[in-house]
Amino acid sequence: MVMKKLLIFTILGASTLVACNTDLETEGLSTITYFPEFQIEGDDFYLIAEGADFVEPGITVLEQGEEIPYTATFVGRYTGYSGTSIGTEPDQYFLTYNAVNRDGFTATASRTIAAVTTGDLTTSLEGAYSSNPVRVTGLSYAPSLVLIWQTAPNVYEISCSVGGFYGDGRGDGDVSLSRGGTITVNNLATNDFTFTPGFIQNFGLDVGITSMTVDAATKTITFIAEGDFANGKWTVTMTQLQP
């Protein structure tokens, strides 16, 4: 990252205040502040095992070439966790670094960590997936990150039942994720599942998975998601990310 500096100019011409008839001697004053410069090693995204510690690859923060302190905070997207170390539950964690320069100006940098168990897709659906949802109209966006985690024997929750189409793909935020949807595995070998729908808070509507096919050989899950509104049908293809 390139060091940024902010020039703050306060130029007040010599003027006379009517109330006290005093000249202000402030013409030409200026200050320079150097924003914190982050030197971050490693990648922007990491996939680690659920419950494992995140090993910091390396970060240094400089102000005008001199190292300054910083804080690091982990926030769990789905659990609501917040702390100075990564949480122990499966989640998508946002790791934010925060530094303040001598003039009180703040700068931040961040990484994302998916902490999940990666299932083999023959006995477990768990994992982090690159999701590509395509609406029945043909509309699609850039792939989104979707998580599946186990909540009970043979029962799994998916972070978005429409594959992140609105929340991440269209950029509408977490209130537009279809949350709370579950997948119950009756027989994984024959793609026999039972589903409960997710709920999109922003719309006040359910969107749920209606059918699913799992291919362990290609590490893919394909499903149909449907909602009771216009063009409310998607084909979602998800590819499991490998640790």
Q: Report CA torsion sign: 135, 142, 167, 180.
A: positive
226-243 pLDDT tens trace? 999 999 999 999 999 998
Provide the strand spans (E) within the chain: 5-10, 29-34, 37-40, 45-49, 59-63, 66-67, 71-76, 82-83, 91-100, 106-116, 127-135, 144-152, 155-158, 178-179, 182-187, 192-196, 198-200, 205-215, 220-227, 233-240
**CB-count exposure of residue 204 (10 Å: 0-12, 13-18, 19+):** exposed
List, in order of start, the domains of the chain with CATH numbers.
Answer: 5-116 (2.60.40.10), 127-240 (2.40.128.120)
Q: Is the pLDDT of residue 14 over 60?
A: no
Q: Is the pLDDT of residue 106 over 90?
A: yes
pLDDT value of position 83 = 98
Averaged pLDDT for residues 217-225: 98
| Residue that the structure tokens 């994720």 belong to | 177
91-103 pLDDT tens trace? 999 999 999 999 9
CA distance 74 to 45: 14
CA distance 179 to 5: 42
pLDDT value of position 31 = 81
126-171 pLDDT tens trace? 999 999 999 999 999 999 999 999 999 999 999 999 999 999 999 9
Q: Is the pLDDT of residue 175 over 70?
A: yes
Q: What is the DSSP letter of 176?
A: G
32-52 pLDDT tens trace? 999 999 999 999 999 999 999
pLDDT value of position 12 = 34
Q: Report CA torsion sign: 114, 119, 124, 128.
A: positive
71-90 pLDDT tens trace? 999 999 999 999 999 999 99
Could you tell me the pLDDT band of residue 29, with boundaries at 50, 70 and 90? low
Tell me the sheet residues that pair with 187.
Answer: 192
